[in-house]
Copies of this chain bind each other. A is one copy, B any other.
Amino acid sequence: MTIEREKAAAEAWFKGLRDRLCAAFETLEDRYAGPDAAEQAPGRFTFAPWQREGGGGGVMGLMKGRVFEKVGVNVSTVMGEFAPQFAGQIPGAAEDPRFWATGISLVAHPRNPHVPPAHMNTRHIRTTKSWFGGGADLNPIYAVEADTTDFHAALEGACAGLDEGAYARFKQWADEYFFIPHRGEPRGVGGIFYDYLEADQEADLERHFAFTRAVGEAFLDVYPRLVARHMDRAWTAEERQHQLVRRGRYVEFNLLYDRGTQFGLKTGGNPEAILMSLPPVVAWP
């Protein structure tokens, strides 16, 4: 019963966070006063539920607006058995391939090249072991120092509640993870990445669930502020073209290296939900 309550609490958190993120983004759509504001209606999310063949499912939230050219906010709760070739790579699954996982995944591709795209994903996974993982990173087309500082500061604040070294550790992990080897360049200006924060013991679960909530709160606080800061600026055709090219790097990273994407597609996940992360228009000129 306790386990079921813990699972339900995690799932409910992710759904509630989804609702608040979507509301914040719709508010930005309403407040938009930039180029062509009068010719475009404020965007609104549409929500599409889906079922997973092996068990569970999720809801894809998608908005195509005037600030957000494409933003996806997905929640899912899935369960089943890992295929033998994956079970060995997952903590606690070698002994018993059954798993249960719940999480939220967000990728925002703003229309304005001056508004930074961003990603945030947190999850709670249970096999014979149990843990939290996640991350968030900022992917500006044109990096602005104040944005980078504010984004990192928000995540540092979230990490401060965990332990003294957490921010440095998770920032370093993000710098290593969000890197495009074949280009020899980072995919953005970083953020945090963390995984396998144990939740087997009650005290660990409480602490790491609290941290995961803090990451969500930090993202919800800082990202809409960064969007609002730049969304009404004008942009040129050259800046738009540069944006499309930079988005190509994002696609390359996600399809070639991103663990979640590879894992999801190769374990029979919903390709529409997984690939909702891909930008709406991309160029490889």
Q: Which residues of A contact B (CB under 8 A)?
A: 64, 70, 181-183, 244, 248, 251-252, 255-256, 262, 265-266, 269, 271, 274-275, 278-285
Kindly list chain B residues whose C-beta atoms are within 8 Å of the C-beta of A282: 251, 281-284
Most buried by B among A252, A282, A283: A282
Kindly list chain B residues whose C-beta atoms are within 8 Å of the C-beta of A269: 182
Kindly list chain B residues whose C-beta atoms are within 8 Å of the C-beta of A278: 248, 284
A226 CA to B238 CA, complexed, in Å: 34
B181, B182, B279: the one within 8 Å of A284 (CB): B279
Q: What are 20 A-B residue pairs whose CB atoms fall within 8 Å in the complex?
A: A181-B265, A182-B265, A182-B269, A183-B271, A248-B278, A251-B251, A251-B282, A252-B275, A255-B255, A256-B256, A256-B265, A278-B284, A279-B284, A280-B283, A280-B284, A280-B285, A281-B281, A281-B282, A281-B283, A282-B283
Q: How many copies does the complex hold?
A: 2
Kindly list chain B residues whose C-beta atoms are within 8 Å of the C-beta of A262: 256
A182 CA to B181 CA, complexed, in Å: 24
A275 CA to B180 CA, complexed, in Å: 14
A282 CA to B281 CA, complexed, in Å: 6
A12 to chain B, nearest CB (A): 30
B284 touches A244 (CB 8 A): no
A281 nearest in chain B by CB position: B283
Most buried by B among A269, A274, A281: A281
Kindly list chain B residues whose C-beta atoms are within 8 Å of the C-beta of A285: 64, 70, 280
A268 to chain B, nearest CB (A): 8
A56 CA to B34 CA, complexed, in Å: 51
A183-B271, A256-B256, A256-B265 known; 19 new pairs, CB 8 Å cut-off, are: A64-B285, A70-B284, A181-B266, A182-B266, A182-B271, A244-B281, A251-B251, A251-B255, A251-B282, A252-B255, A252-B275, A255-B256, A256-B262, A275-B284, A280-B283, A281-B282, A281-B283, A282-B282, A282-B284
